[in-house]
Amino acid sequence: MKKIIEGPAYVLGNNIDTDQIIPADKLMYSLSDPEEKKFYGQFALSGVPDAQSGLPKGQMSFVNEGEFSSPYKIIVGGNNFGCGSSREHAPACLEIAGVEAVVAESFARIFYRNSIDGGFFIPFETEVSVYQEIETDDILRIDVEKGTLENKTKNKTYNLKPLGDVADIIEAGDIFQYAKKAGLIKT
């Protein structure tokens, strides 16, 4: 697990659902085939309406056309991030696109657990509406151990909620690696 996550922010609003994260019509690729898997990165957040993207009109999208990864390493959202269906393709496509952390006020529980259990990225929760204060392209720095989010562009720091019991799973890499390490399953 990285101790510091740093990069530009991509800001979204409330209730970003799994169909916005990866539209159902893009679920035709295999996650186990490396040549097909990359397309999930290309279509990450392609279902988010322009009005919710946090980008000024005409600015680049989350993933540039024809590319498979995004320049944005940290997504910032509001309440209920990842609501909708329980498919693991939603957090997987964000990881494939290069996302290392999502910071939101709250997550849909199944999306939160899929993110952690699959080792896709770290979902951090906040007490305040940081999505209303941070702008897309602000440079953010997350100190995982200290539990802080620093907006380097605006010189402001926020506290993140503690990861709690899931920190061990994140540290191990995913739920299966954690179970092996803890002796819960045989290798």
Kindly report, residue by residue over 41-77, the tens digit of the pLDDT: 999 999 887 655 555 444 458 998 889 999 999 999 9
- Residue 98: inside a domain: yes
Instruction: Supply the CATH number for residue 146's domain.
Output: 3.20.19.10
- Residue 60: inside a domain: yes
d(CA 33, CA 31): 6
Q: Structural domain of residue 77, as residue ranges?
A: 4-181
* 149 phi/psi in degrees, rounded to 5: -120, 120
Q: Who wins on pLDDT, 1 or 151?
A: 151
Give the number of domains in the chain: 1
Order of all β-strands in the sheet with 122-125: 122-125, 101-104, 74-76, 4-11, 139-143, 148-151, 156-159
- Residue 187: inside a domain: no
d(CA 64, CA 128): 30
- Residue 130: inside a domain: yes
Mean pLDDT of the chain: 92
Kindly report, residue by residue over 82-119, the tens digit of the pLDDT: 999 888 999 999 999 999 999 999 999 999 999 999 99
- Residue 186: inside a domain: no
164-182 CB burial, b ≥16 within 10 A, e <16: eebeebbebeebeebeeee
- Rounded to two decimals, what is the model's pTM? 0.92
According to the model, what pLDDT value does residue 87 have?
Answer: 86
Q: Please, how many CA atoms are within 13 Å of residue 14, restricted to the half-sphere of its CB? A: 3
